[in-house]
């Protein structure tokens, strides 16, 4: 296998991986971005190592925490700050990096 073929295969693998991640997101992308914006807002209190703010956003936007929270956990979001630092890091290419 030559270098060009390896590069093509790697790009194809990354594309499929990104498609699978996008398909796994259990809410509309604009709502996921809304979670990130809400949790990272300037007036947010310091993280208390719970998903308090995330759950508040989900409930006030009629999103199903029973479906979404396990997905957040799967991607490293066990508390509000981890939703930003871990989950957003994994899906930023999909939802956009600007959450401000």
- Cα separation, 5 vs 51, whole angstroms: 44
pLDDT at position 79 is: 98
Q: What is the pLDDT of residue 5?
A: 87
The pLDDT value recorded for residue 100 is 67
CA distance 93 to 43: 26
**Residue ranges of domains in the chain:** 3-95
Cα(56)–Cα(65) distance, integer angstroms: 10
Helices 88-95 & 29-39, crossing angle to 10 degrees? 130
pLDDT of residue 4: 87
Predicted local distance difference test score (pLDDT) of residue 99: 79
What is the residue whose two structure tokens read 């957040």? Answer: 72
Q: Which of 19, 58, 62 is nearest to 36 (CA)?
A: 58
Residue-wise pLDDT tens for the chain (100 aa)?
Answer: 888 888 889 989 999 989 999 999 999 999 999 999 999 999 999 999 999 999 999 999 999 999 999 999 999 999 999 999 999 999 998 888 887 6
| Residue closest to 50 by CA, chosen among 34, 67, 64, 69 | 69
């Amino acid at each position: 296998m030559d270098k060009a073929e390896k590069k093509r295969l790697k790009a194809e693998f990354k594309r499929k991986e990104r498609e699978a991640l996008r398909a796994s997101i259990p809410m509309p992308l604009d709502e996921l971005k809304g979670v990130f914006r809400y949790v990272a807002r300037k007036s947010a209190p310091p993280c208390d190592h719970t998903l308090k703010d995330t759950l508040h956003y989900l409930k006030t936007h009629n999103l199903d925490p029973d479906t979404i929270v396990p997905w957040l956990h799967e991607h490293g979001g066990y508390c509000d700050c981890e939703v930003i630092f871990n989950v957003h890091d994994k899906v930023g290419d999909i939802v956009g990096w600007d959450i401000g």
